Structure 1
Amino acid sequence: MPQLKEELAALVAIPSISEWGFPEHTRAALLEAHQAVVDLLRDAGVQSFTSLELPGTAPVITGEIPGPEGAPTVLLYSHYDVVPAGEEALWTSPPFEATERDGAIYGRGTADTKANILVHVGALRAWGGRPPVGIKLLIEGQEEVGSPLEEGYPSEHPEHFRADAIIVADGGSIRAGQPSLTVSLRGDARITVEVRTLASNKHSGQYGGAAPDALVVLLRALASLHDEHGDLAVEGLRREEWSGESYTDEEFRALAEIEPGLPIVGTGSVGSRIWTGPSITVLGIDCPAVEGAAAAVQSHARASLNVRVHPQQSAKEAQEAVMRHLQEQRPFGVALEVAAGATGDGFRAGSSGAAWEAMAHAMEQAWGKPVVEIATGGAIPLVKAMSEGVPDAAIFVFGCTDSFANIHGPDERLLVDEWEKAVFAETLFFKELADRAKVSR
């Protein structure tokens, strides 16, 4: 672990911020991170490297360690890019300087997900670079802004993904000390809603009260998406109870930083609201700012919506349901222009079979507790794409973060104890999987 800490500090110091299209100003840092990861993996025993050079993206690291004859193969996935630091004044310590305090390491990319790359490095190193399973690698540099490996790539190029088990090291535990496997991911869909009512804005004193205000029309339509409890009022969206481990109300309040005295919206369990139920968030509205706003009836208004979708419902089907609902709205007799954006389907993993038993046993040994099944409301379209491209592979969304890691926010942090347990668990998993394969032969 001391060596891994030094290596994490070196990775965090590289501001490998990705942007769509791999523009020139991002390349030096991303290529530096790419080379640093290759060097770490080579030191851990990987000798055979290749690289996927896909248009408009940082290079994807691929490589392999051949396994013993007849041994199963494990694909190790992660990503070396990060999101921007945001407002640096909100950080307690510099975002691109790994800083350890009170059992945690702070810095952008510590939890999401450079420490998870080092989980792979540590597990391979623990076996002296010769684990009892075959290893394939897939470490990319554009996950944060839209992976080029999504959208059917695994189905078109299954040779890069074919394995008995896939460890997607971009996750972690529901809470510190509780080993968790993410088995469910919500899907994602975008929608734009637009209203045009007048040729131009008009004086609110002369025309207000009779001229249709586009912003008011839009707000009325958006308000129709939810009922009085905060549940969605859109027909055709799938929702069911979540049966796995979940947050307590108190944990969720702390995680979401809900202001004192305000409710958690909606009905049902927290899990059913954020994991196996849909949600609609208004991401943005085009309208005048309060400061400097003119006294005018608005002629045009537009909003961007994000729909999160039940893991086993088609994201396009859910998108169509929301669009249909909005198209049926006629606030004050005014129709809405509704346009479909991008979609990404969710994912629901199986939780049985030799690989699942191997992972559960390895994690139980590492953490000293039975594994629980959790979900995430965020979409990882690559996981769904992998499941379609290599349907026989067991896919594990696994890692060393926990729910309070504050990924993408200020003071992102990694708990050292969770990190060590994740390295230990992956190390043990290789043996557990290999042993079960021998028994089955």
Structure 2
Amino acid sequence: MSDIVSRVQSVLPSVRADLEALVRIESVWADPGRRDEVHRTAEMVSKLLARAGFDDVRTVSEGGAPAVIARRPAPDGAPTVLLYAHHDVQPEGDATQWASAPFEPAERDGRLYGRGTADDKAGIATHLAAIRAFDGDLPVGVTVFVEGEEESGSPSLGALLAAHQDLLAADVIVIADSMNWTTETPSLTVSLRGLADCVVEVATLDHGLHSGMWGGVVPDAVSVLVRLLASLHDDDGNVAVKGLHEGTAADVEYPPEQVREETGMLDGVTEIGSGTVAERLWAKPAITVIGLDATSIAKSSNTLIPRARAKVSMRVAPGGDARAHLEALTRHLERHAPWGARVTVTPGDLGQPYAIDATGPVYDAARSAFRQAWGTDPVDMGVGGSIPFIAAFAAAFPEAKILVTGVEDPATQAHAVDESLDLGVLERAATSEALLLEALGALDR
């Protein structure tokens, strides 16, 4: 234990320097103008892994962003562990809202700020620290897989897994792209909601009309859309779409003041839905309107708007099927438009939910590693967000044990302004992973 801790601590300064260099690269695959930056991060990751002792390092692409695969063979009889992270990041949004430049890492109060410091370039850093701690003498076979388009929904992941399944095959898969209960309490993520989204368009007219001439007789599309979107929830904020799956969640304490503190809910705003916070976050569907297209206020006139659109995002509870849920959502939207308005629903992305049976020797080893590195047992938690590629990994490697870990915490603000990484969490996460590799190498062969 003490040896692993000291070895991880000794490599952390170099790992942090590499993390900061990665953060300075604006690897936003969703922005066509910055796709060259994604190629730059792939190149840097390749070099870092080669320097870490991986002789077989490849940059691959199957019609999408570049991914890096690096391999070290297993010692005789030892298992192979696949370490996953991604090198692409979310757009920074309005840079003026950041306390410091989004792509220039800055430390404040023990946290490292910048886009990708946590999600998920810190996942790369965690893997590098654990690998470097063994100074080339790894106790297990290690394959590192660093993807380049996770923040865009991993559209080419299926093709990557199919084309390189022999390179990626492993006994254990560690996915470093989730969060911890607090900065002092680690977590194993054991369930994730799926995702389904669509664009709904309503139309009431074939052209705009003077609102003074026809208002009060002819419905406008925005009013129709507002009423249609309101039908997605009941008065308590529960999802009102019929036929959606609901599951159960762990009995963990999540008091209202913690919700308010972690979310920044304004005074007077109340929670929505019924059931415990864990149930609503992890085991029930959720529907959110994430975008609207209509005439802007700046361009508005006294006109009945003929068409309006909204993008609707739905989270699917583990045990449900994302495609079936999207069909249920589509039926609801088509049947609930008021005043005979025409409705067109265009399906979008799908990602299946996933639940992990976190029992057995591999998970026992993981919990022991967490306990040693953090000084406390991990919380088995669900995640309200979606990581659809986990279901893809499970389908490609059905015999592999999947561990979902990460370096985020409730204050990380992934995807938002002022994203940050707690540097103490990085150290403990890297130590946990190094201890896990050591323990997996010692399992009965």
TM-score in terms of structure 2 length = 0.93
**174, 178, 194: which one aligns with 1:171:** 178
Residue in 2 aligned with 1:423?
Answer: 430
Residue in 2 aligned with 1:13?
Answer: 24
Tell me, yes or no, if structure 1 residue 331 matches structure 2 residue 342: no
Letter of the aligned partner of 2:40 in structure 1?
E
**210, 221, 229: which one aligns with 2:228:** 221
Q: Secondary structure at the match of 1:188?
A: strand
Q: Secondary structure at the match of 1:122?
A: helix
**Take 1:393 and 1:312, find their aligned partners in 2: how far apart are those partners?**
20
- What does 1:97-176 correspond to in 2, within 5 Å? 97-151=104-158, 153-154=160-161, 157-176=164-183
Q: Secondary structure at the match of 2:157?
A: coil
CA root-mean-square deviation: 1.8
Residue in 1 aligned with 2:8?
Answer: none
Residue in 2 aligned with 1:78?
Answer: 85
User: Would the aligned equivalents of 1:275 and 1:310 in 2 still touch at CA under 8 Å?
Assistant: yes
**Take 1:329 and 1:84, find their aligned partners in 2: how far apart are those partners?**
35
User: Would the aligned equivalents of 2:204 and 2:342 in 1 still touch at CA under 8 Å?
Assistant: no
**Take 2:214 and 2:17, find their aligned partners in 1: how far apart are those partners?**
67
Fraction of identical pairs, as percent: 39
**Take 1:419 and 1:149, find their aligned partners in 2: how far apart are those partners?**
29
Q: CA deviation at 1:400?
A: 1.6
**4, 15, 18: which one aligns with 1:4:** 15
In 2 relative to 1, CA 246–240 (structure 1 residues): closer, same or farther, beyond 3 Å?
farther
Tell me, yes or no, if structure 1 residue 397 matches structure 2 residue 404: yes
- What does 1:202-241 correspond to in 2, within 5 Å? 202-241=209-248
Residue in 2 aligned with 1:351?
Answer: 358
Letter of the aligned partner of 1:172 in structure 2?
M
TM-score in terms of structure 1 length = 0.94
Q: Compare 327-336 and 124-133 and name the one that shifted more.
A: 327-336
User: Would the aligned equivalents of 1:283 and 1:305 in 2 still touch at CA under 8 Å?
Assistant: yes
Letter of the aligned partner of 2:411 in structure 1?
F
In 2 relative to 1, CA 267–231 (structure 1 residues): closer, same or farther, beyond 3 Å?
same
Q: Secondary structure at the match of 2:198?
A: strand
User: Would the aligned equivalents of 1:186 and 1:377 in 2 still touch at CA under 8 Å?
Assistant: yes
User: Would the aligned equivalents of 1:153 and 1:385 in 2 still touch at CA under 8 Å?
Assistant: no
Letter of the aligned partner of 2:144 in structure 1?
L
Residue in 2 aligned with 1:288?
Answer: 295
**Take 2:396 and 2:113, find their aligned partners in 1: how far apart are those partners?**
36
Letter of the aligned partner of 2:14 in structure 1?
Q
* 5+ residue gaps, structure 1: none
Q: Compare 407-416 and 379-388 and name the one that shifted more.
A: 407-416
Kindly provide the CA deviation profile for residues 279-329 of structure 1, in whole angstroms up to 9, marking residues without a partner as x. Answer: 111122222223442112222122211111112211011111111122222
Q: Secondary structure at the match of 1:422?
A: helix
User: Would the aligned equivalents of 1:170 and 1:398 in 2 still touch at CA under 8 Å?
Assistant: yes
**Take 1:233 and 1:32, find their aligned partners in 2: how far apart are those partners?**
46
Kindly provide the CA deviation profile for residues 335-394 of structure 1, in whole angstroms up to 9, marking residues without a partner as x. Answer: 422232221111111110111111111111110101111121221111110011101111
Number of corresponding residues = 434
- What does 1:47-58 correspond to in 2, within 5 Å? 47-57=55-65
Q: Secondary structure at the match of 2:296?
A: coil
- What does 1:378-397 correspond to in 2, within 5 Å? 378-397=385-404
User: Would the aligned equivalents of 2:185 and 2:376 in 1 still touch at CA under 8 Å?
Assistant: yes
User: Would the aligned equivalents of 1:241 and 1:269 in 2 still touch at CA under 8 Å?
Assistant: no
Q: CA deviation at 1:176?
A: 0.9
Q: CA deviation at 1:151?
A: 4.2
